[in-house]
Each structure stands twice: as C-alpha cells, then as structure tokens.
Amino acid sequence: MTVNLESLLQDRLAPALEAVAGHPVDPAVRSSPHADFQSGAPLALARELGRPPREIAAEVAALAEAELAGVAEIAVSGPGFLNLTVSDKLLTASLRELAIDGRLGVPVAAAPRRVVIDYSGPNVAKEMHVGHLRSTIIGDALARMLAWLGHDVVRVNHLGDWGTPFGMLVEHLLDSGGDAEHSISDLTAFYQAARVKFDTDDDFRTRARLRVVALQSGDPRSRELWRTLVAQSERYFLDVYERLGVTLGPDDFAGESRYQDDLDAIVAELGEKGLLTESDGALCAFPAGFTGRDGVPLPLIVRKADGGYGYAATDLAAIRHRAGTLGGQRLLYVVGNPQQVHFAMVFAVARAAGWLPDGVSAEHIGFGSILGADGKMLKTRAGDTVKLAALLDEAVLRASAPTIGIGAIKYADLSGDRRGDYVFDLDRMLAITGNTGPYLQMAYARICSIFRKAGSEPDPAAVTEQALTAGRLEPALTVARPGCEPAVVEPAERALAITLLGFEAAVTAAAGQAEPHRLAVYLHDLAQAFSVFYERCPVLRAGPDVRGSRLGLAALTARTLHTGLFLLGIAAPEEI
Ligand code: ARG
C-alpha cells in the first residue's frame, strides 16, 4: 500500500514532463501553502528549452490531465508553477487505508540492513556530561526509528573503560579500602581525589604507573578492582538511561577494553598492507586527503612511541569488529562534531585496510554543543562542566511531571538540525506553546480527552494502546474503530489529512538521513494542523454523520503523534 501522495503525484506527472522536455525530469512535487502540492519543474526547464515557463507549464498540465484524472486537479500558477489539488475522494480513500493500517502507512524496509549504532559512550568513573546527553538522545531516536522500519539494529555503547587513568583510579580504590560501592558513590569526587593525589604525590604516581602495567598485563587483583569500578559506573549509567527513557541496556555495553586483545593484530594487518609509517617512534597511518593547516599530512596514531595504544587504535579494532564479526552494513557513530576528523580518518584507514567492504557504509553522526544563556559552552556558575543529572533534576523540578521535564529536554535536543549548537533554556523548552515537547504532549493529551468525553465512542486505549515492551519497541498500534472512518470535506480537514499522509515521508527521511529533526518538525506541523482543524470543525458537537468521521481524523492524529513521539523517545501521557 502506498499512501505517499507526493510520490503518487510525481509518478503521474513524470510522463508529461518527459514528453515536453525530451528526457526524464524530476517532477519535484512538494507540499505547498498555495495548493495541496506544487511542482516547480517547468521553471527549472525554461532555460534549457528556451521557452517561457508558463507556456511549458500549460503544455505539461494539458498532457498530464488524463494521468491525473480522479487523483488531482492541475493548474498553472504564478511564474510557471504547477498547482496540484488532490481530489477529496483520493484523500478520503488514502486516509481510510491509513486508519486500518497499524503502521500508519510506513512500510517495513524491503531490504533490511544490519545497522550498528555507536551512541552514548560515557567514560567510567566520570559523570556523564551534556555531550553524552546529546549522543544518548540522538542515538536512541535513530535506533528506535531504524528498528521500527525493520532494520536489524545493534546498539553499541563504546564505554571509555580503558587507558592510563585506570592505573590511578585502581590505586586510589585500593588506598580507600577496595570497596567501590562505598568509595565511589560520588564518581566525580572519586575521580578528582585520585587526580589530586596523582598530581601531588610522587609515591602515588609511581604506584599508579606500575598499576597500569599490571592491569594491562592481566594481573588478576588489578583486573578485579578495575571491574568493580566499571560495574559501579555501569549501574550509574543505566540509572540515567532509565530516567531518560532510553533503550540502551546492560547488554549494550561494549567498552574500549573489549578490543585490547585485537590491537596487536590491527598493527600487524595494517603493517602488512603497507599502511603504517614510523614517525618519531610512533606507528602512524597517513590516509590520503588529510592535511593540517600547513599542508602537512595528518597522522592517525595507531601505536604511540611508548608502545601504548590510544583512542584511534581502539576505534580501528572496533570498526573491524563491527563490519566483520557483527556483520554491520551501516555503521553510525553518534559523537560530537569535534571528533569529525578522527572518524573520517578511521573510516579512510579501515576502507584502505579492506575492513569496510563496498556496500558497508560508515557515517559520523556529528552534533553541535549545548550552550549557556551567554552563548558559550554550558558551564555551572562556578565554571565547571554541567553534569547531566543536575540538568535533568532541574527540568523535572520545574515541570509538572517527570515525563514532561524529560520530554522537554529530549524534544529540544531533537527538534533542531543536530549539527548546530543550541542554547539550553529551560523556560523555552518547557513552554506549552511553540515548537516544544510539552506542546506536542499537550496536543496528544487533548485528543485523548476528546475521546474520554465522547464516552462510548472509541475509547482512548483503543486509540493509543501500544505494546511498548521494555523499550525494545514494536509498537502494536491499535487500529481505529468502525463507525469512525475519517473523511474530508472542509479545508481544515483536507489540510490535516494531507499532513497525516506525510508521516511516512517524514519517518523515512529522518531515519535515512539520520536527522531526527525531520520527524520532530513534522509532528509539530501535525499538532498545528490538528489545532486549526479542531478550532474550525466541531467534533463532539457535530451532527451524527460528521461526528464519526471527525473522531476518525482525531484518532488518526493521536496515533500518529503517539507513534512519532515514541520513535523520538518521548513519552506521551494520556492526561497531563
Ligand atoms: N568516550 C568517548 C567520549 O567521551 C566517546 C566514544 C565515542 N565512540 C567511539 N567509537 N569513539 O568522547
């Protein structure tokens, strides 16, 4: 079934355009405030054909009329646009298909892919900061959308659980009696205390260095203490995920330590393939096309001069594992913009090494920073980095309910292009008007209340009930009741119907381009279209013939909002 009107109209328009242009032309049909849909294709052809665009448009319109019969009216407008007005009959028929479709017109991917999504990635014995918040929220929205589209999603939480700081942390844990549960209930304080000792106490520093060596060579006692630290941190991160309503679970942790045994092989393989160069004692790869400001080739340091491995080596081992062992076909890395060059270089080296065969894509899903009111990086009044838990606490405190506070933060993060920075402004995020989470949650709750008032008509549960099992979703959407088939007559009903039918395009674009804001913006448009409809078209007070159809439109809107918010990871309570 296709209810995608845009693509239906494109298909019907294409032959006429091709006939006039003499070659295939993209009909570029878009929804428009001037008609239901509009095509600017004649304008784009004018120069090539050396003809006035209105004349081209008129010829295309005349040719397309037969193809469009029963589907849409076509008319030339303005300097040479084609306006398309979809027939009420087609709109009604398409809506009814949606109403009985549990997936709201979104087909399951014909060619499902295994998609490995690297997100969250906090560091052990450190608090999560706002950068991790963005990765967690964006990554989870992508995981939800791609899973719902039928892809085989593998969540990977690339925990920072390895490296030199662990010498110092383990040693400090030993000094504090070895009981992690007690001594690191406050992770940041624990980390900072270890750091101070490391910087001021020569004896401690020496012990910490020896401890790193012991840890890396597998000394059982060192490993055991390290594991306690990791476990303690994991518990803390899982708490945060639960609070955030994020689908990352205990099985998704795959920290940097997992790849340590692969690192010698990575160096050996890269060496055999001639991809390593020695530079000041370090082993580096110099992927083509990466140069610094002065034109000097940039190194990706695979093994440091002291023989140790760093962040890049681990990411090389990880990518080999994800494309190879895990069989990933699309690899996503949801990590802040500053790591853009790092990932581009890792991908280039992996490609050259043959670890990323053709057909396997690797994408860095970068994102901007969260800024304070002063437009600078978000800091506490004392100038420290802001802790995630503190932000969430404040939002929940200021909102009427935790779901509203958390939803507000998540929606604010997801509703703008992820690549950009945004200002953390709780007043704006929590506002019930504007492009905010609470506005959308309110829109959904309002429709549920219409159904409560409607009494014996479809109960709200029938509209919204979804089996959202432990977040590992498959929303089993309940389909609208008989007697409430939607229909369109009034302009506000038409506008709402056209928006409802755009859900599939919004989800597909958001998942395909890894841009959750495309779905967020869509949901906001939908809530607005509903509010215009509700203002102009009485539902409960309407006559018996119209009432059912309007309830049907309301039910469809509720399901679409609920599903869309769910795919973004935002709760939609029935009452606020
Ligand atoms: N732990 C890293 C950080 O806090 C993020 C990890 C991102 N993932 C990766 N495969 N490098 O910056």
Q: What span, in angstroms and rounded, lies between the C-alpha atoms of 96 and 101?
A: 9
Q: Pick from 141, 145, 161: which is nearest to 108 by CA?
A: 145
Q: What span, in angstroms and rounded, lies between the C-alpha atoms of 439 and 429?
A: 10
* Residue 350 pLDDT exceeds 90: yes
Q: Tell me, in angstroms, the distance from the centre of ligand 1 to residue 193's CA.
A: 24
Average of pLDDT values for 346-351? 98
Average of pLDDT values for 490-515? 95
Domain holding 49, by residue range, is 5-86
* Residue 173 pLDDT exceeds 50: yes
| Residue 386 within a domain | no
Q: Tell me, in angstroms, the distance from the centre of ligand 1 to residue 170's CA.
A: 21
| Residue 99 within a domain | no
For ligand 1, atom 6, name the residue with the nearest CA: 121
Residues 472 and 562 in one domain: yes
With DSSP H G I counted as helix, E B as strand and the rest as coil, what are the percentages for the chain, rounded to 5?
Answer: 55, 10, 35
Cα-based angle 153, 157, 160 (whole degrees, multiple of 5): 160
How many residues are there in the chain?
A: 576
Which of 68, 86, 104 is a domain's end point?
Answer: 86
Q: Give me the number of domains the chain comprises.
A: 3
* Residue 482 pLDDT exceeds 60: no
| Residue 469 within a domain | yes
| Residue 157 within a domain | no
State residue 465's pLDDT score: 41
| Residue 159 within a domain | no
Q: Tell me, in angstroms, the distance from the centre of ligand 1 to residue 339's CA.
A: 9
Q: Tell me, in angstroms, the distance from the centre of ligand 1 to residue 120's CA.
A: 8
Q: Tell me, in angstroms, the distance from the centre of ligand 1 to residue 350's CA.
A: 17
CB atoms within 10 A of CB 202: 7
State residue 466's pLDDT score: 40
Q: Three-state DSSP class for 381?
A: coil
Predicted complex ipTM? 0.99
- Asked whether 476 and 89 are in contact (CB, 8 A), the reply is no
pTM, two decimals, is: 0.93
Residues 554 and 446 in one domain: yes
| Residue 116 within a domain | no
Ligand 1 atom nearest the C-alpha of 159 is 1
Average of pLDDT values for 481-485? 65
Ligand 1 atom nearest the C-alpha of 336 is 12
| Residue 394 within a domain | no
Q: CB under 6 Å to ligand 1: residues?
A: 118, 121, 123, 158, 160, 315, 318, 333, 335
Give the orientation angle of helix 517-536 with respect to helix 402-414, to 10 degrees: 120
**What are the pLDDT digits (tens) for 521-538?**
999 999 999 999 999 999
* Residue 475 pLDDT exceeds 50: no
Mutation to probe ligand 1, out of 117, 120, 127, 158 (largest number of atoms < 8 A from CB)? 158
Residues 191 and 72 in one domain: no
Ligand 1 atom nearest the C-alpha of 132 is 4
Residues 77 and 197 in one domain: no
State residue 574's pLDDT score: 87
Residues 542 and 451 in one domain: yes
* Residue 99 pLDDT exceeds 50: yes
Q: Which residue has the tokens 């495309």?
A: 518
Label each residue of 286-328 as H, E or C: CCCCCECCCCCECCEEEECCCCCECHHHHHHHHHHHHHCCCCC
* Residue 460 pLDDT exceeds 60: no
Average of pLDDT values for 292-314? 93
Higher pLDDT, 183 or 544: 544
Q: What span, in angstroms and rounded, lies between the C-alpha atoms of 248 and 230?
A: 16
| Residue 475 within a domain | yes
Q: Pick from 143, 64, 65, 150: which is nearest to 110 by CA?
A: 150
Identity of residue 429:
M
* Domain harbouring 560, CATH code: 1.10.730.10
Q: Tell me, in angstroms, the distance from the centre of ligand 1 to residue 481's CA.
A: 48
Average of pLDDT values for 159-183? 86
State residue 319's pLDDT score: 98
* Residue 265 pLDDT exceeds 50: yes
φ/ψ of residue 6, rounded to 5: -55, -50
Average of pLDDT values for 166-172? 94
Q: Tell me, in angstroms, the distance from the centre of ligand 1 to residue 550's CA.
A: 49
Q: Three-state DSSP class for 82?
A: strand
Which of 86, 110, 131 is a domain's end point?
Answer: 86
Residue 261 CA: distances (Å) to CA of 217, 309, 347:
11, 11, 21
Which of 3-7, 286-290, 384-388: highest mean pLDDT? 286-290
Complete DSSP assignment for 427-456:
HHHH-SSSSSHHHHHHHHHHHHHHHHHHTT
Residues 6+ positions from 222 with CB-CB distance below 8 Å: 170, 211, 214, 215
Token pair recorded at residue 276: 């390593």
* Residue 471 pLDDT exceeds 70: no
Residues 175 and 75 in one domain: no
CB atoms within 10 A of CB 22: 10
Higher pLDDT, 474 or 202: 202
Residue 519 CA: distances (Å) to CA of 224, 411, 522, 574:
45, 11, 5, 21
Q: Tell me, in angstroms, the distance from the centre of ligand 1 to residue 161's CA.
A: 11
* Domain harbouring 17, CATH code: 3.30.1360.70
Token pair recorded at residue 458: 């479809």
Which of 31, 61, 86 is a domain's end point?
Answer: 86
Average of pLDDT values for 302-307? 93
**What are the pLDDT digits (tens) for 207-234?**
999 999 999 889 999 999 999 999 989 9
Q: What span, in angstroms and rounded, lies between the C-alpha atoms of 287 and 272?
A: 16
Token pair recorded at residue 328: 């990933």
**What are the pLDDT digits (tens) for 534-574?**
999 999 999 888 888 898 899 899 989 999 999 999 999 98
Mutation to probe ligand 1, out of 335, 341, 345 (largest number of atoms < 8 A from CB)? 335
Question: Mean pLDDT in the chain?
Answer: 90
* Residue 392 pLDDT exceeds 70: yes
**What are the pLDDT digits (tens) for 277-301?**
999 999 999 999 999 888 899 999 9
Mutation to probe ligand 1, out of 156, 248, 339 (largest number of atoms < 8 A from CB)? 339
